[in-house]
Structure 1
């Protein structure tokens, strides 16, 4: 049995214990994840510097501040989101209590991207934890130092059975895709997003197939404020060294 299969089976076994469905447990895990971002900020910055040459000022701006905000939103709203929602009765349910009860899907797979290796990988994980799921975290092997830090730190702060980290390249990803998941969340280029389709088990998926920066068309009209337009285009073109889905491409009229 491969280590990828073992991680998935352990996660599903842990999910079936029911502990991830308890609201207090989800909130505790989310708060612990936020502590990781705060307490291990220097290690996160160092890894991003080695992988992508991101500055210490750029790390919170592009990676961690948004995650902290997502976590606190989930912590503050979770009881509301998880509460049963009443629905309108009809003749068949007139004497019943009728409501919709949100339930976790089960075990999900999060495949991260290299250009925002913390933000894009942990944001879906926050949602998975908040919803009561187990999650396999697969960071991008391209940002190798970040993947190693993530592999070392997440098991310290999170339930290592429910939220294991699997590192490696294409072969490890392909092995993961052979397993059964209740949802797959993928961010990356469209070509690679298709590589597992033929061999993976049928699973619902959410894909964000970013094709890389420089493909978002920008059109300047004659009545635009050229100073403001140039400033905004320059920011969009060069932020994160252009490795952003919104990096613009000028299109001639």
Structure 2
């Protein structure tokens, strides 16, 4: 699977992004919906894989991008810069390019979907994993301990439409931050498989910020984390309906 490395990715981490959205900008999303969405996307069991603890980046994210030699596609550098700049602003995680691809802890590749089977993963022989990659337009594999995300690989198909590539790009990058599952407790949402949105909604941004709030600890169990998350949501938009 020969590939080209793109060292020109320079993240504009100083970009001026707006503050987190106020309650008035939440488009009808209730506190209870937000809480259920957090529970599902952080702790849900998708494709048979359970995630019982809070996992998020505990070090800088060193990024490299690749593309297959079999295609003339040039990765969308400006779009990648914008997405990762916004993620850095929301989470506080330092994101920087890796001049040497071997040193990157997050690798993004654009390849024909037939090459997805070569993606390095400890579960490559697992039938669930094989079923997953066979039906995916794009996919990401997290490398994580019980407490922290330590790295990851994202592959986006070059043989899918440009709009779907755009959706895949932001979905996989955001999920790689520790929000790995799909859920549709509110719509539209980046995390809802039925919604092919091309950017985070206001509620999605709040979910990401909640995960990286200092009151949550790396490796915290669902039992301990969810009451804290409910409290944080209540600070933003008080619960008016039963949780």
TM-score by length of 1: 0.24
Which entry has the higher C-alpha Rg, 1 or 2?
1
Which is richer in strand? 2
Which is richer in helix? 1
